[in-house]
Structure formats: C-alpha cells, structure tokens
Amino acid sequence: MTLSVHLLRLPYTQDTLALLRARLHPEVRLSTGLELPTPPEYQILVAGRPEEEHLTASPNLQALIVPWAGIPEPTRQLMREYPHIAVHNLHHNALPAAELAITLLLAAAKLIIPMDRSMRAGDWTPRYEANPSVLLEGKTALILGFGAIGQRVAHLCRGLGMKVTVIRRHAEETPLESSPEMVIAPPGALHDLLPQANALIICLPHTDETTGLIDAEALALLPPRAVLVNIARGPIVDEAALYEALCDGTLHSAGLDVWYNYPAAEADRTRTPPSAFPFHELSNMVMSPHRGGASEETELLRVIHLSELLNTAARGEPMPNRVDLEAGY
C-alpha cells in the first residue's frame, strides 16, 4: 500500500533531498514544499511548526513528524486539539549533542577557556600556579534525563572512567539494570543524589515540571568543586542561582549550550546577550550558542533517521519516538 508523505518545509539542500528520496521504501510517495499537493491526501506530515490548515487539509492524516528532538510549545498545544494524529520526533542530533556535552564538561572541568586566553597573550603564568582542574576519572556524573541524548552521554562518561547515576522519569522501564557503574533512579531521588554528583549533566526536556528544577537549593546540595553542564534548555536551571553559584564558588565551573535570551530576529544575532547576568565575565564558564545538535553530518543524520521512520510506517509497523503531548516529550 502506498504511503503518502508531505514534507512541509525544506531544511535540506537538493542533494540531501535526493538522498532522502533514494533511501525511502518504494511504497513511500513524497511531496515537498509550502504548497500542499493537490489533492492533499498525505497520511504523514513532516513539519516542526504546522498550521491548523496543514492538519485539516488531508482527511487521511494520521501522523505528524517533527524533524528534530523535542516539540515546540505552540505545536504541542495545537496537536492537543487533534488527538487522533500521532506526533513523533527525530533523535538524529543525539550523537553530536552528547559529544558537545562531554566537550563542555571537559572544558569546564579543566578551565580550558582562561588557559587559552592566557596562552594567546603569551602568558605562561597558569603553568606555574596551583592547578585548579577537576579530575573526572572515578568521580560521579549525575545525568538528568535518559533519552537518546542522555544514554549517549552516560556511555561517554563511563568511557572517561566515571561512575554514572541517571535520573529517568520512568526508571522502571529502562532495559538496563542498576549496577555499581550505572545507577538508575526516579525523579524523586534528585535531592538525595545531588550530594554525590561531581558532575551534573542536564539532558531533560523543558516542561512545566522541569522549569527551575535546578534552583539555589539544588545547587547548594552539590559537593564542593562540582561541574554543571546544560545541553537541554536554559530555564531548567534557575538563571540567578546559577550565576551566584559560579560567583561564590558553590560550583567549580559550568558549560552551557542553552540560554535564557535568544535573538528575536536575524538582525539581532550579533548583539543579543544570552542572559540578564554577565556570565561572559566569569572565567569558570564555558559558553556555546545552542549548537549541540550541529555537525557536518547533521543533515545526513536527519535524512537517515527520517527515512527510517517513514520506512517503518511503509512496512505497516508502529513508528518509534512517539511524543506524549501531556508530558511534553
């Protein structure tokens, strides 16, 4: 049976789009562009921010695929009005995001940024001073969120010789058993586990439940010289509390790829502070402009993951990565 799919917007080059078509099951009929096909009979719509007309145009629409991880809040609210349309997303960015998390962890723990600045100025002084770096081997990484990204972060942390504790919303559903190297716990255990966390790595989706989850109280529970990494969403960590913790030494250092203030338009991209607080003045802060899922291979990975989802549907099998609209991910 032919599966009709419409890709609403094109984040791809023509070469990448050709690659997508080449990877699709013979029974997948793909249309693309802002203009809907005539007649609009697609069963699957690929769009991150669809309008209501895109959902109602085809009487055959069964599923929406958001072509990245997570779901925008306006899309979530819109799709709650159409419960008969399943929502799925892609996890193609998990590998580059996990690698960036480890990059931020190492750069923060080793205070690479101030060392780099000194060397660029010809200043070797840090070599002859007490070394403030944190040794990670044998220490405990507490990873919040155990989705596609969190699982890869856990794997990489174990490769560094770290002990790993994971907080997962449905800890009982994990296929892995807790062990001395990998402890899996429910969200209610967070405050009990924070005192053991030499590195706190945040991979959670941003929902009403996770907003401000890491506040001043949570940060104060961390052991001395702890490192915080956030590759999820800025508001999961209280902005003011994070800044104060870095200033007063509660935290050894932090690495952030996600922020509290983003450019509103293209013209603002060269003049938008990422926070109301001057994080850029802190030597124990590593800053990255929300590029965790980006790499030279990102669009190829997106094509591979999207084609796998569509081919699964073409075979009549349930598509993975279904979004729980109530939970927000």
322 belongs to a structural domain: no
8 belongs to a structural domain: yes
E strands present in the chain = 3-7, 28-32, 44-46, 63-66, 86-89, 140-144, 163-167, 182-185, 199-202, 226-230, 251-256, 285-287
Burial of residue 252, with CB atoms counted within 10 A of its CB: 0-12 exposed, 13-18 middle, 19 or more buried: buried
| Pair (250, 139) in one structural domain | yes
| Pair (243, 127) in one structural domain | yes
| Pair (260, 113) in one structural domain | yes
pLDDT at position 146, please?
Answer: 94
- Length reported for the chain: 329
- Give percent of the chain above pLDDT 70: 96
| Pair (149, 202) in one structural domain | yes
| Pair (171, 98) in one structural domain | yes
| Pair (89, 99) in one structural domain | no
292 belongs to a structural domain: no
Give the pair of three-digit tokens for residue 209. Answer: 């439940």
Burial of residue 13, with CB atoms counted within 10 A of its CB: 0-12 exposed, 13-18 middle, 19 or more buried: exposed
Which has more pLDDT, 27 or 12? Answer: 27
| Pair (13, 124) in one structural domain | no
Sheet with 28-32, strands from edge to edge, namely 28-32, 3-7, 44-46, 63-66, 86-89
Q: How many CA atoms lie within 13 A of 50 on its CB side?
A: 31
Query: What CATH number does residue 144 fall under?
Result: 3.40.50.720
Q: How far is residue 39 CA from its own chain's centroid?
A: 37
pLDDT of 177 over the 70 cut: no
251 belongs to a structural domain: yes
Question: What is the span of the domain harbouring residue 65?
Answer: 3-93+297-314
Across 296-315, average pLDDT: 94
pLDDT at position 88, please?
Answer: 97
| Pair (196, 178) in one structural domain | yes
Q: Dihedral sign for Cα 35, 72, 269, 150, please.
A: negative
| Pair (172, 276) in one structural domain | yes
pLDDT of 173 over the 60 cut: no
- Confidence band, pLDDT 50/70/90 cuts, at residue 294: confident
| Pair (86, 155) in one structural domain | no
pLDDT at position 204, please?
Answer: 93
Q: How far apart are CA 116 and CA 174, in angstroms?
A: 41
- Confidence band, pLDDT 50/70/90 cuts, at residue 172: low
Place of tokens 């085809």: 58
Give the number of domains in the chain: 2
